[in-house]
């Protein structure tokens, strides 16, 4: 559409990302391990990259639905680092992520064997105003547990004490972190 001088809008981009997130690649149809072969999330992320680039039509910007589609897709495909980076990008764009987007990303970290990153993300939920528990005593106990784990990890109060140094940051046309190589390979 873009190369034919047609102007897709945000809904068009969201539809493409949604179709990619729900689709099955041809290799998925021939194997029983769908998650290992499903790389359509990479293509959905590539569509997001185009949407954020200078090549996007005027007025096209990610909206709440864009982030919902991508974060759910990435978390379900066990890509919590990308999902967390998009949670941050969502906040930067002025949207407050729903608690379920945080929860999906936390679960994805847990499934990937990264409990410290899951705890760090849970703590960042508190900073946005979400409590994990309705009970103040349980919530404070969790916060104390995070502080203890932080001290055990070296006594640092930064995200790196939770092993967060391999985060991927999305910033308009630029991508930083360990995802550079992957995202550079995702050219449309």
Predicted confidence (pLDDT) per residue in 69-113, tens digit: 999 999 999 999 999 999 999 999 999 999 899 989 999 999 999
Q: Which residue has the higher pLDDT, 173 or 2?
A: 2
Res 11: pLDDT: 96
Tokens of 58: 């005027």
Helix (H) or strand (E) holding 174: strand 174-177
Determine the pLDDT at residue 151: 64
More confident residue, 142 or 179: 142
Residue 44 parent element (H or E): helix 40-52
**Whole-prediction pTM:** 0.69
- C-alpha span between 24 and 13 (Å, rounded): 18
For residues 128 and 126, give the distance between their C-alpha atoms in angstroms, rounded to a whole number. 5
Who's near 161: CB < 8 A, 6+ residues apart?
150, 153, 154, 155
Res. 133 pLDDT band, cuts 50 70 90: low
Q: What is the structure's pLDDT at 61?
A: 94
């Amino acid at each position: 559409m873009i190369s034919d001088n047609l102007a897709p809008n945000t809904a068009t981009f969201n539809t493409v990302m949604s179709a990619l997130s729900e689709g099955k690649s041809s290799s998925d149809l021939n194997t029983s391990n769908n998650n290992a072969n499903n790389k359509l999330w990479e293509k959905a992320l590539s569509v997001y990259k185009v949407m954020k680039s200078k090549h996007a039509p005027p007025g096209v910007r990610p909206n709440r639905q864009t982030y919902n589609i991508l974060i759910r897709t990435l978390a379900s495909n066990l890509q919590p680092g990308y999902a967390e980076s998009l949670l941050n990008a969502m906040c930067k764009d002025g949207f407050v992520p729903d608690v379920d987007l945080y929860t999906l990303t936390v679960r994805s970290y847990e499934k990937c064997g990264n409990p410290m990153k899951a705890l760090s993300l849970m703590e960042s939920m508190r900073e946005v105003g979400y409590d994990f528990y309705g009970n103040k005593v349980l919530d404070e106990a969790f916060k104390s547990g995070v502080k203890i784990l932080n001290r055990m990890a070296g006594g640092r109060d930064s995200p790196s004490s939770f092993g967060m140094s391999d985060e991927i940051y999305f910033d308009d046309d630029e991508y930083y972190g360990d995802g550079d190589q992957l995202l550079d390979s995702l050219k449309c």
